[in-house]
A and B are shown apart, each in its own frame.
Chain A
């Protein structure tokens, strides 16, 4: 009897310890980024593009990377939205309980698992075939591939919780399935869909490996789809690669900027889902 209680107690302690490790590492990461990033952060970093010799510790900021990242992730999110929404609607409205629907879900899950460096390599291969150079468009395409499974599966899950009675009511009134999808389902699940979009956007903006060869890098703001574009993760990576402590400090500040953007998106997604959910007919 005593041994059983002791064992229970032991594993409870282990579980508590594990929770401390997991949550503690999140706290440690955030604390490290804040502690090293905050002192190096200033307004000029956020509002200026790099001046000449930036990586030698000269003046300027990372505006090019911030804007570039927003363009890249924004374009990729738009592009993958165009594919994700129809796919999610198809899976939930036309291909319910079909073998093909399950297969498509499996394919999306597998796509989700493909490492982003592989998307980068594939994107680069694609660009070589098309004769494109490293550009905003190339980065957008690679990132869109990365975001597609995240967004499509997120929307799929969001639409899955719509009560089937609602669908049936719409169909019974004589609406076609397409009309049900466009006028009932999309409006009912708007918060869930938006959450999926925000999460995919957040994933896209934080990814470095897929834009490494496809988007290139530049100190200027991108002025067309065919010019190279900087991105925040790569700006961090390059600043860190210089031997100058002052520039490395800026990498920490840039990491703070990226973390704040990503965490804000993630919190926003959660908040939106929570708030708008209350307006849904159940």
Chain B
């Protein structure tokens, strides 16, 4: 078979500059190093750019008022982030509460119990789940989760446990914290599973064998030996899931109800920071300090996610180096 043209081209191809080869190498390294460095600087640059735009509102209002005031009234110059921060925490917290047990159990199953074939069969589907766009999660939320909350969870849970304030429902629709959390929980499944499975699998085989040889059952081995060994990494996986849920916008925006009030029950509507930015960015230019306030919300998101992400990545990097 004749060599195809592109092969021939590739084999005789020269770097276009008529430079000395060693010089080309040095130049290539220089360009690549600078690109890498610039990318590394992107995080501080983004933070700084946002900070500069937030500066006006920080200069004119005390930070405590911004963070702890409950009144959000841009036209009157009142920018209290409290309901949005609490709304974010409610939705994210409940989502993690729902998502962590099944994700970890699935990760343990895939890492410890499943055969190579089952793992190969299941993992592509988990990757598919990770690839579904967030708007599609939102549509699913509206079509399936919200009606479920309205017709099943609210009458059931609210009727039975309605005497506890956490489960009291005076929200006639299904749009609220619970719906947002359920959608978010499904969105973070693949992240927690992927990272946790990798970490659990990285536990040394000798540990398992020692435990099994002493007569422990499979589950005892997992519980007392493997999980203990990979605890830090599993925590890191959960934290990664948390920061993903914390910054998720479109899907949450579509199902949480978007009322700027502090929620008191899992059926109440909430208004997370991400939804606040997305809903109001278009009209902010005409009102003084409005853009600074919205970018402030973005800065809060960035800083929180940055801290959590950095912490869990450092743990994971150390674990990988150990293994």
B-chain residues with CB within 8 Å of residue A117 when the two chains form the complex: 247, 249, 274, 277-278, 298, 301
A-chain residues with CB within 8 Å of residue B128 when the two chains form the complex: 26, 263, 266
Q: Are B247 and A148 in contact (CB under 8 A)?
A: no
Q: Are A178 and B15 in contact (CB under 8 A)?
A: yes
Q: How far is the CB of B39 from chain A (nearest CB, A)?
A: 6
A-chain residues with CB within 8 Å of residue B301 when the two chains form the complex: 115, 117-118
Partner of A113, one of B24, B244, B295: B244
Question: Does B203 belong to the interface (CB within 8 Å)?
Answer: no
Question: Does A46 belong to the interface (CB within 8 Å)?
Answer: no
Residue pairs across A and B with CB atoms within 8 Å: the count is 260
User: Once bound together, how far apart are the Cα atoms of A128 and B193, in whole Å?
Assistant: 40
Interface flags for B1-41 (1: CB within 8 Å of A; 0: not) read 00000000010010100000110110011011101110110
Number of interface residues of A (CB under 8 A): 89
Give the dominant DSSP class at B's interface: helix
A111 in contact with B39 given A4-B220, A176-B24, A251-B139 (CB within 8 Å): yes
Q: Which range holds the interface residue count of chain B?
A: 35 or more
Q: Are B35 and A122 in contact (CB under 8 A)?
A: no
Q: Are B15 and A182 in contact (CB under 8 A)?
A: yes
Question: Does B109 belong to the interface (CB within 8 Å)?
Answer: yes
Q: How far is the CB of A230 from chain B (nearest CB, A)?
A: 14
B-chain residues with CB within 8 Å of residue A14 when the two chains form the complex: 105
Q: Are A209 and B39 in contact (CB under 8 A)?
A: no
- For chain B, residues 171 to 210, give those with C-beta under 8 angstroms from any C-beta of chain A: 186, 189, 193
| Residue ranges of A at the interface with B (Cβ–Cβ < 8 Å) | 4-5, 7-8, 11-12, 14-19, 21-23, 25-26, 28-29, 32-33, 36, 83, 86-87, 89-91, 94-95, 100, 102-111, 113-122, 124-126, 145, 148, 152, 176-179, 181-183, 187, 199, 202-203, 205-209, 212-213, 233, 236-237, 240, 251-252, 255, 258-259, 262-263, 265-266, 270
| Residue ranges of B at the interface with A (Cβ–Cβ < 8 Å) | 10, 13, 15, 21-22, 24-25, 28-29, 31-33, 35-37, 39-40, 42-43, 46, 49-50, 53, 101-103, 105-106, 108-109, 113, 122, 124-129, 131-140, 142-144, 186, 189, 193, 217-220, 240, 243-244, 246-250, 254, 274, 277-278, 281-282, 294-295, 298, 301-302, 305-306, 309-310, 313-314, 317
